[in-house]
Amino acid sequence: MDIRHFFAILTTAATTIISTAQKTAWSYTDCINYARQNNISLQQSAISEQVATENLLQSKAEWHPTLDFATSHSYSNYPWGEQSSKNTYSSNYGLNTSWTVWNGQQRENTIKRDKIQTEISKLNTVDIFRTLETDLLQVYINILYALESVNIYSETEKLSQAQAQRAKQLMEAGRLSRVDYTQLQSQYEQDHYNLVNARGTFYTRRMELKRLLQLGIDSTMEIVPVHWDKPEVMAELPPMDESYSMAVDTDIRIQALKLQKESATADIDIAAAGNSPSVSLNAGIGTAYSTPGPAFGNQLKQRVSESVGLTLSIPIFDNRRTKTAKSKAQLQKINAELDIQSRLTEIAQNVESWYIDLRAAQSRYVAGIEQEKAAKLSHDLVNEQFSLGLVNTVELMTAHNNLLQARHSLLQAKYMAMLGHKMIQFYRTAQITLP
């Protein structure tokens, strides 16, 4: 490796590491761009592309003639021989070439198959990247949900702490029993525990994102928040059959499976060529030298020989190799057709599933808005009445927990709906956009 190339690689790697270390707030687009450049699976798939390209180059090279040089040398000793020289030396030199004129179009079909395999390897790389896009999307939205959950639990903890402190003041003033105060203090401790647990969930989701991005253990990562309002959550869905049709048109696996079917057809033709005769041309030029004998140069000149030949090979019996190869290729073609049908069914099920989940999430979101309003109003009224001594701690805690549950139900419906919107967008356009 050239030393300048080596230092260029080091500089690029160092720049990537430094920029990654400096980046603390990651958007979804940042995650995608980083994964595109650094994901190991993508890099391995790129290597597979290069291997497929090399196979194609090898197939094309089969059209070229072969050329080789051969030489042999031998030395013999006759200790009890009667000739004057008891030692002999001989050497041969030859230059040979061969070219296949016809082999049942095996070369043409091999090139055709390897071209298809090259395209398949490229599609596989795209498919890996698209899978990575959806995996990152789901983890990213889970992080946004976990982050907002932390905010809700934090507000709830502050509220319950204020209620516990107020209860303590009422108890010290003789207006509240110790039992009631203890219950509210216990509620505060429970809310604090919930906050700690929510933070743990957020850290776990963030770790999942770092794992997908294959970031180091020492890397720092914060997420750029994304805000969605009711119009975005409740956006109208396009027709499901239209989305299915678009999903089939943009699906990389369908395209790869169709090419795999074409590759199997080429394999059938390659196997069938085993029953065809083959014709090859060969030519050669050689000379020899031995001792004792005339001078080296004279011998090489006098013993020059030239040859040219035509070889015809007709297969008669090959222990069923050709028939077996052809049968296997036909089975591969049938299997590729079945894989296409299976993938079409899978796409239909996935699209329908996301539509069902999204519509259900939108319904829960609409109901959740009203539920949160009612729970908030009830909570505020009960809290005010509690301060006046008109309700007991059980009613206060019930209103408190109802509000917490309503907020979480609304939050969950919101993010489930947005995940559904983005996944349907992906199935339709093979693209994902996040603010």
Q: Are residues 39 and 173 in the same domain?
A: yes
Q: Are residues 125 and 225 in the same domain?
A: yes
Nearest partner of 35 among 208, 214, 207, judged by Cα = 214
* Cβ 263 vs Cβ 112: under 8 Å: no
Distance CA 91, CA 289 (A): 5
* 24 has pLDDT over 50: yes
What are the start-end ranges of the E strands in 8-150? 25-26, 66-77, 87-102
The percentage of residues in the chain with a pLDDT greater than 70, rounded to a whole number, is 93
Q: Are residues 232 and 256 in the same domain?
A: yes
Instruction: List, for residues 134-179, the tens digit of each pLDDT value.
Output: 999 999 999 999 999 999 999 999 999 998 998 898 888 888 889 9
The residue among 257, 289, 314 that closes a domain is 314
The residue among 293, 314, 335 that closes a domain is 314
Nearest partner of 400 among 419, 387, 413, 381, judged by Cα = 381
What pLDDT shows up at residue 296?
Answer: 86
Distance CA 373, CA 16 (A): 48
CA angle 167, 173, 179 (to 5 degrees): 45
Q: Are residues 197 and 304 in the same domain?
A: no
Q: Are residues 211 and 265 in the same domain?
A: yes
Instruction: List, for residues 217-234, the tens digit of each pLDDT value.
Output: 888 889 999 999 999 999
Whether 191 is covered by a domain: the verdict is yes
Instruction: List, for residues 406-422, the tens digit of each pLDDT value.
Output: 999 999 999 999 999 99
Q: How far is CA 221 from CA 15, 213, 215, in A?
A: 18, 11, 9
Q: Indicate which CATH number applies to the domain containing 304.
A: 2.20.200.10
* 5 has pLDDT over 50: no
User: Looking at 62-71, 100-109, 168-177, which range is the least confident one?
Assistant: 168-177
Whether 422 is covered by a domain: the verdict is yes
The total of structural domains in the chain comes to: 2
* 320 has pLDDT over 90: yes
What pLDDT shows up at residue 77?
Answer: 81
Distance CA 99, CA 281 (A): 5
* Cβ 113 vs Cβ 270: under 8 Å: yes
Whether 11 is covered by a domain: the verdict is no
Q: H helices within 214-320, ranges in order?
A: 230-233, 240-250, 252-272, 296-302
User: In the predicted model, what is the mean pLDDT of residues 375-383?
Assistant: 93
DSSP 48: H
What pLDDT shows up at residue 82?
Answer: 64
Whether 14 is covered by a domain: the verdict is no
Distance CA 23, CA 30 (A): 10
What pLDDT shows up at residue 291?
Answer: 85
* Cβ 243 vs Cβ 356: under 8 Å: no
User: Looking at 105-109, 297-301, 327-331, 373-377, which range is the least confident one?
Assistant: 297-301
What pLDDT shows up at residue 87?
Answer: 80
The percentage of residues in the chain with a pLDDT greater than 90, rounded to a whole number, is 79
Structure tokens at 434: 């996040």
3-state secondary structure of 266: helix
Q: Are residues 108 and 31 in the same domain?
A: yes
Q: Which domain holds residue 69?
A: 65-78+85-102+278-314
